Amino acid sequence: MRYGELEVLKGVSLGVASGETFAIIGPNGAGKTTLFKVMTGEARCDRGSVRFRGEDVTRLPAFQRARRGFGRTFQMARVFPEMTVMQNVVSSLESHRRWSGLSLGKWYRYKPSTEVATEAESLLRDLGLQDHRAVEARFLSHGDKKRLEFAIVLAMKPSVLMLDEPTAGMAQSDRLGVVELIGRIRAERGITVIMTEHDMDVIFGLANRLMVLNYGEVIASGSVGDVRDNPVVREVYLGKEMVRA
């Protein structure tokens, strides 16, 4: 993968098993986000391929990968700011449902079906957003926006959840809440999680396996214990204090 003359990913290869939580870590500029974008379809690699459940999805755009089960969150929560919390979730639920007419019966204002509304209510309850259902998303706190983003993604019923620094910019209390939320989603729904993160407490608390990138190259991969004890990783990224902790 290249940006002009700069080769940002060099021979990176990874495989993630169903139900696994896989983390990609590395210093700033290591290529984590680019690798993420290649997997989600936001960027195209000039060599190599991306396979999902045996299917080659390398040439598929992001929206088609999303329809196949890729759910994506961003460093700064991306929601629909001028819609209410409920409308955000309803929009996501409807996006993968077949059209059932153009609501001629209620022609002056479209309302979601009872099935969609019930499912949206259930998701909001599950994520603790039920009291905010009528609030426009732009007025939510950062932590609540993050929860809403999770609700939007979960409404798509993804089989792979791709989390780009899920606790970035959060206070400690919100951070613990998000870690608990990811753990619960994984346990209850059996979703595969692929994440990038700088906070090692989050990584060590959630990941089964991880991979370390530096200048676009894989310098280590394996179980949390293996990577933590790797001297190269300690030198390049973790530092001695982090390892002692």
Q: Which is nearer to other proteins, 7 or 42 (CB)?
A: 42
Q: Which is nearer to other proteins, 67 or 142 (CB)?
A: 67
**Binding residue (CB under 8 A) for other proteins from 29, 53, 63, 128:** 63
> Does 105 interact with other proteins (rule: CB under 8 A)?
no
> Does 184 interact with other proteins (rule: CB under 8 A)?
no
Residue 241 beta carbon to other proteins: minimum distance, rounded to whole angstroms: 37
**Binding residue (CB under 8 A) for other proteins from 34, 40, 167, 230:** 40
Q: Which is nearer to other proteins, 51 or 157 (CB)?
A: 157
- Cβ count near 78 (within 10 Å): 15
Give the residue among 34, 135, 28 at the shortest CA–CA distance from 88: 135
**Binding residue (CB under 8 A) for other proteins from 5, 82, 188, 241:** 82
Residues 106-125 that bind other proteins (CB under 8 A): 107-110
> Does 155 interact with other proteins (rule: CB under 8 A)?
yes
Region near other proteins per CB under 8 A, out of 6-14, 98-106, 179-187, 189-197? 98-106
DSSP letter for each residue of 15-27: ---TT-EEEEE-S
Tell me the C-alpha distance between 185 and 127, whole Å: 10
DSSP letter for each residue of 23-87: EEE-STTSSHHHHHHHHHTSS--SSS--EETTEE-TT--HHHHHHHTEEEE-SS----TTSBHHH
**Binding residue (CB under 8 A) for other proteins from 16, 43, 50, 83:** 83
> Does 204 interact with other proteins (rule: CB under 8 A)?
no
> Does 6 interact with other proteins (rule: CB under 8 A)?
no
Give buried/exposed letters for 50-66 (b at 16+ CB in 10 A, else e). bebeeeebeebeeeebb
> Does 3 interact with other proteins (rule: CB under 8 A)?
no
Q: How, if at all, do strands 51-52 and 55-56 pair?
A: antiparallel
Q: In angstroms, what is the C-alpha Rg of the chain?
A: 19
Say if residues 168 and 76 touch (Cβ distance below 8 Å): yes
Say if residues 52 and 70 touch (Cβ distance below 8 Å): yes
> Does 60 interact with other proteins (rule: CB under 8 A)?
no
Binding residues (CB under 8 A) for other proteins: these are: 40, 42, 61-63, 66-67, 70-72, 74, 78-83, 87, 91-92, 94-96, 99, 102-103, 107-110, 139, 152-153, 155-156
